[in-house]
Chain A
Amino acid sequence: MSPESATIFTGRLHPLTLVFGVWQGLRGIWPLLLLGVVGNRWWGIAIFATLSLGGSVAFAAFRYFSFSYRIENNELITKEGWLGRSERHIPLARVQEIRIEQHLLHRIFGVVDAQIETASGQGAEAKLSVLSRAEAERLRQAVFNRGAQVETTQAPITQPEAVLVRRLTLGELALAGLTSNHLVSALVIVGAIWQFADNALPQALRVRLRTFTTQTLAGFVMHGGAFSLRFWTAIVISVLLVSMLFSMVGSIVLFYDFTLTRQGDDLQRRYGLLTRRSSNLPRRRIQVLKIEESFLRRWLGFATISADVSGNQREDNADSKGRDVLIPLLRRNEYEKLLPLFLPDLAAPRTVWRPISPRAIKRGTMKSARLLVLLAAAWFFWQWNWLAAWPLLLIPVAYLFHRESYRHLGYAMTQKYLFTREGWLGRATRIIPISKIQGLEITQTPFDQRLGLAGLNIDTAGQAFTGGVPRIKNLPLAEAEDLARTLAHQAGLTPYRG
């Protein structure tokens, strides 16, 4: 038997799988139990609870006793079921990411949830719930070291040392929260708290609270004039303050003790105050890297970095799990130094940014101007007042905006990477390894054709967290065709390895 075909290790779920099965069952039925206590309907509830709890215990036991996994022939193999056995083979070289999640309860018992992702783009390929911490670590090491080794050389397995790349301090996390525009999510949290209060608080207290708020509001209304301005200012400021506080707290809770380490080719992130999360991402799998400097962050000199691996799919709760960013906050002078860690051979000095066609300014200005003239005309016919012409005053502003947007838009190319950049007040820079380009598309609308311009879309295998397909707009047609051909030929020279 050659060394590759040997079974490296076999493993089972942790016995606590059973306990967590019961916990899951309890979580599903606790409102019912509460109802039973309050409503004095003991018998029915007890029978129902026993049945459903019994069901989840049986299910957990079944999973615990029937589930096993092993690494063999450079594959991770999971086995499940008694009567209908199912075996899943996942080639180690195809593993994109291992995500480990540890809720508060998991942490007390020292166990974790592990999810193994491949490029299939259909969520986790294997879910191992729950494993002991040490076992998860062993699995991670085995998968990534073998995977990397298969792809590169047949050198003996050496354990590269983990190097700390970056740790975020509490202050930085607070700043990340303050500079994020999470006004909406803050309102959602307020709503959720209100809902919770509505469900959990005793009736009497709730009624008292409601009468208090309505009376205060009525008091404001009584005082007439003061109501309009002072009241609304107070409302706006308090909503702003509350949302800032919430997003600050949210950011700290989510990303507490954020560390990014690198072990060979493998980038590892760990973060979280209550739920600890960690994920491993081989850097050679990065399809697109995005550096985002929103207006506020750019002004303060900060940026956020996000990355996509192939097959990434945006789940509803990706943001709330912190999956969408690689590093939540970073100083501008830092990321230039860190980028070669994520994308090898990026150290070479960047070539100058090439501009798009200056016709973009006129085009954009005309578009805005048409809209503003239309608005002014509509207003004028409605009011018959010359004051209605004020939108026309915005045309110079539109011109200024489009000119600055044009100046800040551009692309650049090195031997291995394509860069695109856009945005005046806020800025987004995307870096695409040319070897990851899957296809290119030049599009021309009828307006484009009149101006001799074209847009270029650069398709890659993952675009969930970096804002859709990278696109360069308003290129002269000949330049777009040249660029597309150059990129396609260069991409064609390298085989795609996920």
Chain B
Amino acid sequence: MTEAGTQQALALSQPNQPPTFIPLDQRVMQLWRFSDALGYGIFWLIVLFAVLALSWFRTGWALSLLCGWSAFVLITIAWVMWYPARAYRAWSWRIDGRVLETRSGIWFRHTRLLPLSRLQHIDLESGPLARRFGLASLILHTAGTQNASLTIPGLDAAYAEQLRNWLVELGGNDVA
């Protein structure tokens, strides 16, 4: 979703027809899976080490401990496969006139609305892992207190840059 995406979003933000919500870039599922797996993988190794050390001293426990560890690994693998896809489906955003609207959350749902004229500044963030996937996040800051920043994760890196410029433009132009 690059140039065409912006055109699509622009076309959809006509005042008479409410724009539809736009999903994140599909690659973000891979990114989330990868980073989750990385985190869990380290945890598995630590737990495995502890299990092996314990089995050394209590030989009788070895089998049940290893079974427990494998069950734990299987559950987390299932989780890593399932959760990012579900979170991806829950995430969407749109620009309706001069208001940015995002939706997220599976069990605890959040819809956030940000009038673009309230934008103080926008950060474009792309970690080493996200860069490998060609993705970036936009972090929008307002002068608010509780929700002073709003993050849109998993945008195509080139598109994120375009979107940022466009948001700044939309936010900066005061309505006469």
Binding site for B on A (CB under 8 A): 119, 310-311, 437-446, 449, 457, 459-463, 468-469, 481, 484-485, 487-489, 491-496, 498
A485 to B105, CA, bound (A): 19
Residues of chain B whose beta carbon lies under 8 Å from any beta carbon of chain A: 96-99, 101, 105, 107-118, 142-148, 150, 174-175
Q: How far is the CA of A445 from the CA of B145 in the complex (A)?
A: 22
B175: chain A residues within 8 A (beta carbon): 492-495
Q: Which of A444, A461, A487, A496 contacts B117 (CB 8 A)?
A: A496
B14 to chain A, nearest CB (A): 14
Q: Choose among B99, B113, B174 the residue that contacts A495 (Cβ–Cβ < 8 A).
A: B174
**In the complex, are the beta carbons of A441 and B145 less than 8 A apart?**
no
Q: Which residue of B lies closest to A312 (CB)?
A: B145
**Alpha-carbon gap, A111 to B148, bound state (A):** 39
> In the complex, what's the smallest C-beta–C-beta distance from A195 to chain B, in angstroms?
37
Q: Are A463 and B112 in contact (CB under 8 A)?
A: no
Between A and B, 25 residue pairs with Cβ closer than 8 Å are A437-B115, A438-B118, A438-B142, A438-B143, A438-B145, A438-B147, A439-B114, A439-B150, A441-B113, A441-B147, A442-B110, A443-B109, A457-B146, A459-B142, A461-B143, A489-B99, A491-B115, A491-B118, A492-B97, A492-B98, A492-B99, A492-B115, A492-B118, A493-B98, A494-B117
Q: Give the nearest-CB partner of B109 in chain A.
A: A444
Known pairs A439-B115, A489-B115; A459 contacts B108 (CB<8 A): no
Q: Chain A residues near B111 (CB, 8 Å)?
A: 441-442, 481, 484
Among A310, A469, A491, A498: residue with most chain B CB under 10 A: A491
Contacts of B116 in A (CB 8 A): 492
Contact of A459 among B96, B97, B144 (CB under 8 A): B144
A439 to B116, CA, bound (A): 9
Quote the shortest CB–CB distance from B133 to chain A (angstroms): 28
Closest to B115 in A: A492
Which chain A positions have C-beta within 8 A of B147? Answer: 438-439, 441, 457, 459
The complex places the Cα of A433 from the Cα of B162 at a distance, in Å, of 33
A residues in contact with B145, CB < 8 Å: 438, 459-463, 469
Question: Which of A438, A491, A498 is the most central at the interface, judged by chain B CB atoms within 10 Å of its CB?
Answer: A438
Residues of B with C-beta under 8 A to A442: 109-113
- For the complex of A and B, list the 7 residue pairs with the smallest distance between their C-beta atoms, beginning with the closest: A492-B115, A438-B144, A459-B144, A488-B113, A442-B111, A444-B109, A492-B98
Q: CB-nearest residue of chain A relative to B149?
A: A439
How many interface contacts (CB-CB < 8 Å) are there between A and B?
Answer: 106
* CB–CB A440/B113 < 8 A: yes
A457 CA to B116 CA, complexed, in Å: 18
Which of B96, B146, B148, B174 is within 8 Å of A485, CB to CB? B96
Q: Whose C-beta in chain A lies nearest to the C-beta of B174? A: A495
Q: Could you say which residues of chain B place their CB within 8 Å of the CB of A461?
A: 143-145
**A441 partner residues in chain B, CB cutoff 8 A:** 110-113, 147
14 additional A-B pairs beyond A119-B143, A438-B142, beta carbons within 8 Å, are A438-B143, A439-B113, A439-B115, A439-B118, A439-B147, A443-B108, A462-B145, A463-B146, A469-B145, A488-B113, A489-B98, A492-B99, A494-B117, A494-B175
Q: Is the CB of A469 within 8 A of B146?
A: yes
Complex Cα spacing A440 to B113, Å:
5
- The docked-state distance in angstroms from the alpha carbon of A469 to that of B145 is 8
Q: Tell me the bound Cα distance from A462 to B115 in angstroms.
A: 17
B108 & A444 in contact (Cβ 8 Å cutoff): yes
Q: Which residues of A contact B110 (CB under 8 A)?
A: 441-444
- B117 and A492: CB pair below 8 A? yes
B113 surroundings in chain A (CB, below 8 A): 439-442, 484-485, 487-488
Question: What separation, in Å, do the CA atoms of A461 and B97 have in the docked complex?
Answer: 23
Q: Which residues of A contact B97 (CB under 8 A)?
A: 489, 492
Task: Provide the bound-state CA to CA distance between A489 and B150, in Å.
Answer: 17
Query: How far apart sit A310 and B111, CA to CA, in the bound complex (Å)?
Result: 24
Q: Closest CB-CB distance, A441 to chain B, in whole Å?
A: 5
Contacts of A491 in B (CB 8 A): 115, 117-118
- Cβ-defined contact, A446 with B143, below 8 A: no
B107, A446: Cβ atoms closer than 8 Å: yes
Q: Given the complex, which residues of A lie within 8 Å of B108, measured CB to CB?
A: 443-446
User: Which B residues touch A498, using CB under 8 A?
Assistant: 143
**For residue B115, which residues in chain A have a CB less than 8 angstroms away from its CB?**
437-439, 488-489, 491-492
Give A93 Cβ to nearest chain B Cβ, in Å. 15
Closest to B119 in A: A496
State how many angstroms separate the Cβ of A449 from the closest Cβ of chain B: 7
Say yes or no: B144 contacts A460, CB within 8 Å: yes
Determine the distance from Cα of A338 to Cα of B110 in the docked complex, in whole angstroms.
37
Chain A residues positioned under 8 Å from B114 (CB to CB): 439, 488
- Which among A311, A468, A487, A493 has the highest number of chain B CB atoms within 10 Å? A493
In the complex, which residue of chain A has the Cβ closest to the Cβ of B116? Answer: A492
| Known pairs A440-B113, A481-B111, A484-B113; A496 contacts B143 (CB<8 A) | yes
What's the Cα separation between A228 and B145 when bound, in Å? 51
CA A310 to CA B118, docked complex, whole Å: 13
Tell me, in angstroms, the Cα distance from A462 to B144 when the chains sit together.
Answer: 7
Which residues of chain B are within 8 angstroms of A485 by Cβ–Cβ distance?
A: 96, 99, 101, 113
Decide: A488 and B99 in contact? CB cutoff 8 A: yes
Question: Across the interface, which residues of B come within 8 angstroms of A439, CB to CB?
Answer: 112-115, 118, 142, 144, 147, 150
- The CA-CA distance from A460 to B146 in the complex, in Å, is 8
A454 nearest CB across to chain B (Å)? 8
Query: Which single residue of chain A is at the shortest CB-CB distance from B105?
Result: A444
A463 contacts which chain B residues (CB < 8 A)?
145-146
